[in-house]
Structure 1
């Protein structure tokens, strides 16, 4: 049951993003060991550059592939 709940959560992320507003979506590859630092540094840069944007990063972390998306601020 836990596995099914996890996949349901994963499969509803794109729908939730659409309901949240427009977004810039990127599929990127990063060496697995570098993912935490990449998300931290890129997220800080995005926050500085687009203060009202929201970073949404998820995906196939085990093989170094991420959906790295920036959502616009609600109401923007």
Structure 2
């Protein structure tokens, strides 16, 4: 009887580990896909990676320095 209970607990634990890993992978896959997409886009862009300072974003210039 003890061996049956131990086998059932071990089987249940194994199932829960597999399901936990599958769930973790399912949660992390979209983030990994986005990382790969952004990396490929940055490496294959003809302009190279864009910067906030180049586009007049926060901390960038607006082209009006001479009129101030």
Q: TM-score, normalised by structure 2?
A: 0.28
Decide which structure has greater helix share.
2
Structure number with greater CO (CA < 8 Å, separation at least 6) is 1
Decide which structure has greater strand share.
1
